[in-house]
Chain A
């Protein structure tokens, strides 16, 4: 397999993981919104309520930075990262 094909396979793998985490916190947990809201979440808010106004949003921020770092590592590993920028 060529270097480029390997790079793309890893990139696709990272995409799947990223989208899976995204799915859980943007859609998955809200399937059980009513049940989850009975539980007390961080800072004492009802759990589902907390996810809609802080939890999911914060997780998305962290997820994007994590994704960007992982993708950079993959690019470096196969020698596809850009030079002389940032």
Chain B
């Protein structure tokens, strides 16, 4: 069936894979009709998809450094785009985003703009130049451009802080989904998630992660789009929701005006389970100040351009030209999901609050709603709650509470779709969280094994030994992440946003100025990374401990302060110290043109 080079056969291989996955969904749907239990369907979906990823991970095993670190630099643009999209879209994008839009409306959609606009910065400021450089990791660029072990070490520290904050959230997400789908306690499910993650990356490094991420993208995009289209058709909202929900959006605004946003007393809210929220903000009306919206979007955009697990995906393309195009494809594949999230939020909200729809619960009697099957299921899972605060016997808008995850996970059931769709959504969420966790763990382990161990501690180590160290670090970091995830310190979305702020505080300007400002030197870069990270983290701690903050910068946007400090300190220190030597300046000149040899050799 498949002859010749694997790379030449990619469209065929993934075409067959997609067909196989669709066939699997149909088989599951038939099995459901024949009486297979919901639980068994959930287990089949998660087990089947994870097994496929593990097989791909095994087939991609390698003993070569450039295959392990940069997938041999032969990933075609479109496929790298899909892999990046899976790398990028985490459990937060898949499970939490539509929920956030459902509750917070316009103000929350700053994240949609921020998490896409950042790619313009990636494409124009960084990715092609770092690809030309020929580095294996992001600290590899910093260490070679600025020279010296200290600058390399600082970059490793910033990378580790940002990526580790991010990865605990992703392992947490895989654990949540595994515990629901496989029906095991969360503390164990976290380690089931971790083992699945390591199966993809351990043997093949970047090569294994690349080909599993493409497979994971296909699963997650089908799992997201299919329910959105189905629900839209089912409730009669429109055949193609993205272009046809204007009436629904205005209907929600109408209902909001009719119901009003009643503020619950603190006393009443005490009985609502932790983590659940009601609708308190307008859906489509502008409900945030321009600065609150813009500062969040800006922080996410600059963070995007500084996160190493995204940047390193563009080291795997065959050429500089391909790296640029690949950024465009990445964003296209991300766009498919992000433009659907607001539509899902709209459909979910309308289905629940519109009294004229059969699924609507607002205005019905409390006892009637409490008797509905799906309400009982999700109430038991601690993701839905109703209380009759005013004692009039009917459910009001302010008396209905839901968890953020429930919007994606429960809407198919509310709209009356078969359970097979819920199983599919669980597999999609698992794919989204796993693919991001893989990229992050690999980014940290590679920085530690390549930059800290090989470049700083033991430059004479042989390839075989380097790759053993890389794999041991991968497992150690994975377990550290899982252990912290099992403690459940913070929510998924909050820690993801922090990771962006940490990354932009320490890395944005040292990376950008390394290409675009020849005068930037080692002392400046070290000052920029160290002071940026310290001031950003300091601001976060200050605000968390009751500090009032300034200029409207919150704990979600502290990177704006950190990166401003980073920029100023980097420029000032660079200017008061000597300019970079001639060799470094020549290196920068060479990075700026696509032709010619890369700065670092194929094996380094």
Q: Which residues of A contact B594 (CB under 8 A)?
A: 75, 80-82
Residue of B nearest to A84 (CB): B319
Within 8 A of B (CB), among A36-50: 37, 43-46, 48-49
Per-position 1/0 for B295-334, Cβ under 8 A of A: 0011001000000000000000011111011011001100
* Residues A31 and B294 in contact, CB atoms below 8 Å apart: yes
Contact of A57 among B116, B123, B246 (CB under 8 A): B116
* Residues A49 and B339 in contact, CB atoms below 8 Å apart: no
* Residues A81 and B321 in contact, CB atoms below 8 Å apart: yes
Q: Does B589 contact A (CB under 8 A)?
A: yes
Contact of B249 among A32, A45, A79 (CB under 8 A): A45
Segment at the interface with A among B38-46, B106-114, B368-376, B469-477 = B106-114
Q: Does B592 contact A (CB under 8 A)?
A: yes
Q: Which residues of B contact A54 (CB under 8 A)?
A: 242, 339
* Residues B123 and A30 in contact, CB atoms below 8 Å apart: no
Per-position 1/0 for A61-82, Cβ under 8 A of B: 1011101100110010001111
* Residues A30 and B293 in contact, CB atoms below 8 Å apart: yes
- Give complex CA distance A52, B250 in Å: 16
Q: Does B284 contact A (CB under 8 A)?
A: yes
Residue of A nearest to B333 (CB): A61
Contact A57 to B321, CB < 8 A, known contacts A26-B301, A82-B595: no
Contact A82 to B319, CB < 8 A, known contacts A53-B109, A61-B332, A68-B324: yes
Contact A75 to B331, CB < 8 A, known contacts A26-B117, A63-B120, A86-B318: no
Q: Which residues of B contact A44 (CB under 8 A)?
A: 246-247, 250
Contact A85 to B321, CB < 8 A, known contacts A26-B117, A45-B249, A56-B116: yes
Interface of A is mostly: helix
Q: Which residues of A contact B339 (CB under 8 A)?
A: 53-54, 57-58
Residue of A nearest to B298 (CB): A27
A-B contact count (CB 8 A): 152
Contact of B293 among A33, A46, A63, A83 (CB under 8 A): A33
Per-position 1/0 for A1-34, Cβ under 8 A of B: 0001001100100110011001001110011111
Q: Does B335 contact A (CB under 8 A)?
A: yes
Contact A61 to B331, CB < 8 A, known contacts A46-B249, A67-B324, A82-B594: yes
Contact of A31 among B120, B125, B290, B318 (CB under 8 A): B290
Q: Which residues of A contact B77 (CB under 8 A)?
A: 86
Q: Which residues of A contact B110 (CB under 8 A)?
A: 30, 52
Q: Does B124 contact A (CB under 8 A)?
A: yes
* Residues A79 and B595 in contact, CB atoms below 8 Å apart: yes
* Residues A80 and B593 in contact, CB atoms below 8 Å apart: yes
Q: Which residues of B contact A19 (CB under 8 A)?
A: 120, 124
Separation in Å of the A20 CB from the closest CB of chain B? 11
* Residues A48 and B335 in contact, CB atoms below 8 Å apart: no
Q: Which 4 A-B pairs have the closest CB atoms?
A: A44-B246, A85-B319, A53-B342, A26-B117
Q: Which residues of A line the B interface, CB within 8 A?
A: 4, 7-8, 11, 14-15, 18-19, 22, 25-27, 30-34, 37, 43-46, 48-49, 52-54, 56-58, 60-61, 63-65, 67-68, 71-72, 75, 79-83, 85-86
What are 28 A-B interface contacts by the 8 Å CB criterion? A4-B592, A7-B592, A18-B120, A22-B120, A26-B113, A26-B120, A30-B294, A31-B294, A33-B106, A52-B110, A52-B112, A52-B113, A53-B343, A54-B242, A57-B339, A58-B335, A61-B331, A64-B123, A68-B123, A71-B128, A80-B595, A81-B595, A82-B319, A85-B321, A85-B322, A86-B318, A86-B319, A86-B321
Q: Which residues of B line the A interface, CB within 8 A?
A: 77, 106, 109-110, 112-114, 116-117, 119-121, 123-125, 128, 242-247, 249-250, 284-286, 288, 290, 293-294, 297-298, 301, 318-322, 324-325, 327-328, 331-332, 335, 338-339, 341-343, 589, 592-595
